[in-house]
Structure 1
Amino acid sequence: MNEQPRPPGTGERPVGYALSGAAGGFARTLLAQTRLIPALEPAVLCDVDVPRLRALCLELGYPEARLRTCADAAETAAATADGNIALVADHELIGAGAWDVLVEATGSPAHGYAMARTALELGRHVAMVSKEVDSVAGLHLARIAAANDVAYLPAEGDQPGNLLKLLDRARLLGMDVVAIGKSTEYDLVHDPERGTVTQLDRTVDAPELGELLTLGDDVRATLAARADAVAALPTGATADYCEMAVVANGTGFRPDVERLHYPVARIAELADVYALREDGGVLREPGAVDVFSALRLPGEASFAGGEFVVLRTNDAETWRILAEKGHVVSRDGRYAVLYLPFHLMGVETPATLLDLVARGRDALTREPRRHAVLAGRAKQDLAAGTVLDMGGHHHDVTGVQAVLLRGDEAPADVAPLYLAAHATLRRDVAAGELIALSDLADPDPALVEAWQQGEETR
C-alpha cells in the first residue's frame, strides 16, 4: 500500500498532491484514505507543527524512510524528486516540490489564499477545503485558475463540494430545483421518555417536542413551535453560513433570508418544509440556499451534516410510485427531495483529486460569481480599537453575527466576514450594523485585493 518510492514524472506514476493544514482532522482522513489508493500519493505536507505531522504519518503507516523534514526549497524539491514525502513548516516551500494538485485545508484566509494562488500560478490544480478562504478569495482564485489553464473548485468530502455534485446530477436529469442546502453539523435528538433534546454533548428539557413530532396542517406554525422548544440550544453556526456562501456563488442559488431559515425538521418532512409559501412551506421564492436542524429520535439514522436538493415534481404518477418506494415526497405531491446523509471529509476527497488531474478544467461545471456575501453584523456595540478575534465555536468571530446577504443587495463597502476577522475596528460600530471595509484599520492587503478583484463578478 504505497510502500515503495515511485519516480516522479508522467505516464504510470500516481497523482501527487500537496496538503496544507496537514496535521488537522480533515487532513488525517485524507492521509488515511490515501493509503488505500495506489493511484494517489502525498508529495508535500505542510503544517506549523512538523513533529506532530510526522507522528501522524507514522501512526497511519507511512514508512519513516520516506518522510523527509525539509527546511528549504532545495530539500523539498529533492525529497519529492526521489519519490519521498516532504514535511514542511513554511508554506512558501510547498511550491518547490513536484505534485499535481494542492488540497488547501488550513482554514486560514491569509495563508490559504497565498498557497492557493501560488499553486495556480505554478500551473497546479487546487481543491479547496478552507471555506473561509473561498468565501473571501474564491472568485479571484477561479479567475487566476482560468488564466493558467488549471482548475479550482471545492473538494468533495466537505458540504459545498458534495452539494455542488448533487445539484449537477439533479440538473443533468432536468429537475426543476427550488432549494438546495445541508443540515447543521449536529442533529437534535429528542428522547420522548425523558422529555429532553440533545445536541452533541448538551441536553436540555423540551417536553413539548413530544406533541410536535408531526408537521400538522400548519407547517410554519409547527416549525415556530419547535424552534421555541429548542431555543436553549444554539442555532446558526458561522461555518454553515460560510459553506452556503460558497455554494451560492457556485450555483446562483441565494439566501431566502439573511439569517437562513434553520427549520427544525425531520428528514421525511423536507419536501413539505421547503415548499413555496403559497404551498405551505417556508420559501419566499424559488432558488434558495438554506440549512436545517435535523430532528430525530434515539436510534434513528442521522442526517450527518449531509446535503439536500428540493425539486418540483413533474409527472404525478412517477412520484407516487417513488413515494411508495420510500422517497421523500411532499404530502401534496408537488415537491420531492434528493439527499446525501453524509459528508465524509477526506475519505471522499480523493475522487476530486483524481478527477482534477485526469480532466483538468473539464472537471468544472460552472464558473462562480458573486451571488452571496458572507458578512457580519455587530451583536453588541463594538468600540473603535476592538480586535475582531477568531477562534470561538465553529469559526465564530467574537462579537459578530454571521449573515448571508444576496450579492446584488449587499452594500458595496461590506466586509466579508473572514476578511474582517483578526482586523481592528477604526471606528465605533453599533449593535446591528454591518461591518464595512472602511471600518477596518488594518485588514490584510492581499485579501482586500482578492476580494475587490472578485467584486467584478457581481
Structure 2
Amino acid sequence: MQGTDPTTSPHAPVRYALTGARGGFARTLLAQTLRIERLRPTVLCDLDTAGTVALCEELGYAPEDLRVCSTPDELAALEPGRIAVTDDAGLLAQEGYDVLVEATGSPAAGTAAARTAIETGRHVVMVSKEVASVAGTALADLAREHGVVYTPGMGDQPANLIEWYERALTLGLDVVAIGKSGEYDLVFDPETGRVRQLDREIDAPELADLLSLGTDVPATLAARARAVAGLDRSAAADYCEMGVVADHTGLTSDVEGLHYPVARTAELADVYSLAEDGGILNRSGVVDVFSVLRLPEEASFAGGVFVIVRTGDPVTWELLAQKGHVTSRSGRYACLYLPYHLMGVETPLSLLDAVDRHRAAGTRRPAPHAILAGRAQGPLAAGTRLDMGGHHHDVTGVAPVLLDPAQAPDDVAPLYLAAHTTLGRDVPEGALVRLGDLADPDETLMDVWHHARLRASDRNN
C-alpha cells in the first residue's frame, strides 16, 4: 500500500495526483494549492503536457520544479519536491502520492485511473461526473475493499448538495426535494425586454408580466418556459450530477426529463411544493434542477444547491421568514440554499478530509438509485458514432434522461458508456439506447456497469 495511512499526522504534507491537469477545473485546484502549504501536487497527467507545464508556470509554479516524464525510470529519477508531468496515466501506479483527483471527464480513462489509484492504496476524489455516473458504485465498493476513500469532490454540485442534504437530515428536517440551479442564469432586462443566458440573448418581453408567480404556479412556470423557449436550458451535465446525487442519497428524479422550472430564488419553496399544495412535485424525495430567473442587478445563484423542507412549528418559521429566509406563501415549505459552487477552490477540503479523517462526502455508501440513460432525439442509423464533447458534455443525437433502476430495461445503456461508441443497429426516434445497440463498448466500462446492475438487483430483491 503506497498511500498515506489514515492515522498520519494532520501536519504531514498531502500529496496529490491530478488527471485532466490542463482542464478548467484543474486550473482552479492548482491555483488554490499554491495557497495551502500542506497540499502538494506530485504528478500531473494530461495528454497536453506542454500546455500543462505552461499552465503551471502561468499560475506561479517554479519552472525548475516541473519535469515531463514519459517512462518509469524518468519518474523514479525525479528529485524530491519536483512535480512530474506526464501523458501516460499508467505511470500513476509508480509515483508516490496519497490521493488522486480524477478530472479527465473521460469515462474509460477516468475509470482506469481511479481503479489504479484505489488498487495501489490511494484515495480518490472524483470530479469527473461522467465517470461517476457509470463506475461510481463499483469504484466505491472497490475503495471499501482496499480501505481507502472514494468521494465526489467538494466545489462541484454533487458533493456540495450531498453534504447540504445530510446536514438537513442531521437537523431532523423533513426533506421534500433537493437540487441545484442550471449553470447559467436567465437575466431579464425589463428596459429592453430581452433575456440573456451567458453569451446569448433573445427577445422575451412577456417576462415583464411574469416576474411574480401569481396564484397558479404551474401556469406561470409554463408561460415563462414558452417565453424562453429559444434558449437551451437543459444540459447533460445537470442530469449527470443529479444521478450522482441520487446514488449517494437515495432520492430520485420526479420525472425522467427533470422539471427545469424557470424560477426566481425567492420562489423556490412555492415552486417545489407538492402539487396538492400548488407546486410542481408529484411526490416527496426528489432531485431536480431549476433555471434561475433574475434581473441584472440581482445576485446570481451561481450554480448553487438547495434543499426544500417541510416547516415544523409555524411560529419558528414565521420568525425565520421575517429574517429573510425563503418560505412558501402557505408557510408549509422552506428553501435552504447555498448560492455558490467554487470548483477546485473548495476541493482541498475533500483532499484533506480523505487523508486526515478518512472521510467521504456524505455518510451513505453509494448505490445505483438512478440511471443516467439516453433517448434518441431522432432516428439514429447503424454506424453512427455517438460523439461527446459538445455543449456541457452532451452526447450528439441523444437526450439525457434519469431513470429508476427498478423500472428501467435491464439492458439500458448508461449515457456515458454509450458515449464514444458506434451503433451496431438502428435506434428509432424516442427509443432508449440499449447495450445491444452498441457495436464497440469499452470492456472496462461494461465490467463496472455490470457490477452496478448487480447491486441494483440485490437492493430490489
Q: TM-score, normalised by structure 1?
A: 0.96
**Does residue 1:114 correspond to 2:117, yes or no?**
no
* Equivalence map 1:380-399=2 (5 Å): 380-399=378-397
* Other-structure match for 1:42: 41
Structure 2 CA distance, aligned partners of 1:77 and 1:191?
A: 59
Contact 2:152 / 2:361 at 8 angstroms: preserved in 1?
no
Work out the percentage of aligned pairs sharing the same amino acid.
64
Q: Secondary structure at the match of 1:234?
A: coil
Counterpart among 178, 181, 200 of residue 179 in structure 2: 181
Structure 2 CA distance, aligned partners of 1:386 and 1:178?
A: 41
* Other-structure match for 2:340: 342
Structure 1 CA distance, aligned partners of 2:296 and 2:362?
A: 40
**Range that drifts further, 224-233 or 63-72:** 63-72
Contact 2:151 / 2:361 at 8 angstroms: preserved in 1?
no
* Equivalence map 1:2-401=2 (5 Å): 11=9, 12-79=11-78, 82-361=80-359, 365-401=363-399
Contact 2:14 / 2:352 at 8 angstroms: preserved in 1?
yes
Counterpart among 390, 398, 408 of residue 410 in structure 1: 408
* Other-structure match for 1:423: 421
Which amino acid letter does the alignment assign opposite residue 311 of structure 2?
T
Contact 2:389 / 2:395 at 8 angstroms: preserved in 1?
yes
Q: Secondary structure at the match of 1:290?
A: strand
Structure 1 CA distance, aligned partners of 2:107 and 2:361?
A: 25
Q: TM-score, normalised by structure 2?
A: 0.96
**1:234 deviation in Å?**
0.6
Contact 2:162 / 2:361 at 8 angstroms: preserved in 1?
no
Structure 2 CA distance, aligned partners of 1:361 and 1:51?
A: 35
Which amino acid letter does the alignment assign opposite residue 42 of structure 2?
A
**1:362 deviation in Å?**
6.8
Which amino acid letter does the alignment assign opposite residue 86 of structure 2?
V
Contact 2:353 / 2:359 at 8 angstroms: preserved in 1?
no
Q: Name the CA shift for 1:363/1:183 in 2 (closer, same or farther; >3 Å).
A: closer
Structure 1 CA distance, aligned partners of 2:312 and 2:93?
A: 50
Structure 1 CA distance, aligned partners of 2:221 and 2:54?
A: 48
CA deviation string 1:295-319 (max 9, x = no partner):
0001100011110000001111111
* Other-structure match for 1:435: 433
Contact 2:294 / 2:300 at 8 angstroms: preserved in 1?
yes
Q: Name the CA shift for 1:362/1:375 in 2 (closer, same or farther; >3 Å).
A: closer
Structure 1 CA distance, aligned partners of 2:150 and 2:74?
A: 28
**Range that drifts further, 391-400 or 184-193:** 391-400
**Range that drifts further, 87-96 or 141-150:** 87-96
**1:72 deviation in Å?**
1.4
Which amino acid letter does the alignment assign opposite residue 120 of structure 2?
L
Q: Secondary structure at the match of 2:368?
A: coil
Q: Name the CA shift for 1:362/1:391 in 2 (closer, same or farther; >3 Å).
A: closer
**1:364 deviation in Å?**
5.2
Structure 2 CA distance, aligned partners of 1:406 and 1:216?
A: 33
Which blocks of at least 5 consecutive residues in structure 2 are unaligned? Answer: 457-461
CA deviation string 1:201-221 (max 9, x = no partner):
111010110000000101001
**1:14 deviation in Å?**
1.0
Structure 2 CA distance, aligned partners of 1:144 and 1:75?
A: 30
Q: Secondary structure at the match of 1:391?
A: coil
Which blocks of at least 5 consecutive residues in structure 1 are unaligned? Answer: 1-7
**1:361 deviation in Å?**
4.7
Structure 2 CA distance, aligned partners of 1:225 and 1:66?
A: 57
Structure 1 CA distance, aligned partners of 2:401 and 2:106?
A: 20
Contact 1:88 / 1:94 at 8 angstroms: preserved in 2?
no
**1:235 deviation in Å?**
2.2
Structure 1 CA distance, aligned partners of 2:234 and 2:214?
A: 25
Contact 2:180 / 2:303 at 8 angstroms: preserved in 1?
yes
CA deviation string 1:405-426 (max 9, x = no partner):
1121111100000000111111
**1:290 deviation in Å?**
0.2
Coordinate RMSD, CA, aligned: 1.3
CA deviation string 1:256-297 (max 9, x = no partner):
000000000000000000000100101100000000000000
**1:438 deviation in Å?**
0.7
Which amino acid letter does the alignment assign opposite residue 128 of structure 1?
M
Q: Secondary structure at the match of 1:145?
A: helix
Q: Secondary structure at the match of 2:288?
A: strand
Q: Name the CA shift for 1:138/1:362 in 2 (closer, same or farther; >3 Å).
A: closer
Structure 1 CA distance, aligned partners of 2:451 and 2:303?
A: 32
Structure 2 CA distance, aligned partners of 1:381 and 1:263?
A: 28
Q: Secondary structure at the match of 1:232?
A: coil
Q: Name the CA shift for 1:233/1:247 in 2 (closer, same or farther; >3 Å).
A: same
Q: Secondary structure at the match of 2:388?
A: coil
Structure 2 CA distance, aligned partners of 1:230 and 1:362?
A: 39
Structure 2 CA distance, aligned partners of 1:331 and 1:102?
A: 46
CA deviation string 1:343-400 (max 9, x = no partner):
1110000001001101115765110111110000000011111111112111111111
Structure 1 CA distance, aligned partners of 2:404 and 2:361?
A: 27
